[in-house]
Amino acid sequence: MINVLQRAVGNLVVPAAFLLTVAVVALNVKRLPPAPQELWFIGPTVMITIAGTLSLSYHRSRVFFICCVLAFCLWIVGQETSDSLKTVMLFAAVPLNFLLVCYFSERGIITTSGLIRLFFIAWQVALAVYLIEQQVVIDPTLLNPVDNFPTWLALPVDQVTAFVLALSLLGCFVFMGLDETPINQGMTTALISIVIGYFLPTENAWAIFCIAGSAYLVGSLIRDSYNMAYRDELTGLPHRRALNEQFLSLGSQYSLAMLDVDHFKKFNDTHGHDVGDQVLQMVAAKIRQVSGGGKAFRYGGEEFSVVFTRMSADDAFYYLDEVRKSVQNYEMVIRKDPRQDEAEEKVAKKQRKRGSFRKANEKVSVTISIGVADRRSGGSPDEVLKAADAALYRAKKAGRNQVTAA
């Protein structure tokens, strides 16, 4: 749980800086050149529409549902109804919807699951329309059940709504740590935006933060689509498509390396594909840490590539050998016993002596072979890569676990 919170805090750095910048702009908007009043009226609607349209194009159902909830927010703010009802809708119902969408997985829109979720949102809109038409006023005593509430905890909303809002924000925060995707970050940022925008005491703050939150959601959607197009899901490294585009920006001096996990097929057959995937993730993590300005890519299967710009093969050799040693010296623990179910695991944990550790069945390590070449080996990046691949083949023939230059 601590690791989840640490990742969530790390993922909040960029949104926090973004929201702080927006707050500074909102507080000083009067000092800026005047904007047409229509901008604050139609700006949020236009930006939410853009986000919703992109979510349909990229088949991101969760972003589409969030856009529906944001549109519901705009509609609620413009209604003439009691402040108590408006507050409950904006800061209890809406945040709970954000939390539910963060919990959802991508299931599509025109599917059984997607239609159920749309119906759930539509049902809330219908209920809101009915309550507004009936001019319902919520009894304040129901929303403030605790007498003598500490003044230092006083918020611009009632106690129940504040509790639901805090719970929803915390839940979105945790989901952002569990699933480190741009989409979760964008949805959480959008929720924080509408909360700040509503309570910030400056003119047009609501519209400014609605536009900003929706724009951040659009950016998150684009970043997520980029990751899917250019990043390998298993290792997190850019894959071959990104490598091909990197070739287009190489200058007159560069080095390319091909890396391969030794005896990986035999290892996979012996220990299983799950362990094989863990090995690839470990190797990718080590290669990602390569020094000398190298950039790592997953080429395919158990093969990886590293690009060094403005560096010869002789200079890159040292950094690649450091990576080889790092992989060689890393030991992985393999558990051959089948994993216990949750109940058995709890019993075993209670019976385990203090200070003892779960017994490791087997420790294994892998090695990698590397071939490296620079621009002297060919006239184009593809030819240099072929030379690096030929050097990799020679490294394997010479006994593996070594770096060979073309």
**Listed range (18-27, 35-44, 367-376, 390-399) with the worst mean pLDDT:** 35-44
Distance CA 370, CA 394 (A): 9
* Stretch 5-11: mean pLDDT: 67
- Is residue 7 very low, low, confident or very high in pLDDT (cuts 50, 70, 90)? low
β-strand partners of 364 = 332
Rounded to whole angstroms, the maximal C-alpha distance in the chain is 84
Question: What number of CA atoms fall less than 13 Å from residue 74's CA on the CB side?
Answer: 23
CA dihedral in degrees (185, 190, 192, 197; nearest 10)?
150
- Is residue 45 very low, low, confident or very high in pLDDT (cuts 50, 70, 90)? very high
Is the Cα dihedral 206, 208, 211, 216 positive or negative?
A: negative
More confident site: 38 or 6 = 38
The residues, any chain, with a CB within 8 Å of residue 72's CB and separated by 6 or more, are 94, 121, 124, 125, 128
Provide, rounded to the nearest whole percent, the portion of the chain with pLDDT above 90. Answer: 46
- Is residue 72 very low, low, confident or very high in pLDDT (cuts 50, 70, 90)? very high
The residues, any chain, with a CB within 8 Å of residue 94's CB and separated by 6 or more, are 69, 72, 73, 191, 194
247 pLDDT more than 50:
yes
**Listed range (62-71, 246-255, 388-397) with the worst mean pLDDT:** 246-255
Q: Which amino acid is at 120?
A: F
- pLDDT given at position 360: 46
- pLDDT given at position 342: 43
> pLDDT tens for residues 316-344?
999 999 999 999 999 877 655 444 444 44
β-strand partners of 51 = none
The residues, any chain, with a CB within 8 Å of residue 244's CB and separated by 6 or more, are none
* Stretch 111-117: mean pLDDT: 89
111 pLDDT more than 60:
yes
> pLDDT tens for residues 261-300?
999 988 888 888 888 888 999 999 999 999 999 999 999 8
In 240-302, which ranges are continuous DSSP H helix? 240-247, 264-271, 273-288
Average pLDDT over the chain reads 85
Residue 71 and residue 122 in contact, taking contact as beta carbons nearer than 8 Å: no
165 pLDDT more than 70:
yes
Domain boundaries, the chain: 2-230, 240-405
**Listed range (66-70, 98-102, 313-317, 357-361) with the worst mean pLDDT:** 357-361
240-405 CATH fold = Alpha-Beta Plaits (3.30.70)
Distance CA 223, CA 1 (A): 26
Buried b (16+ CB within 10 A) or exposed e, 205-235: bbbbbbbbbbbbbbbbbeebbebeebbbeeb
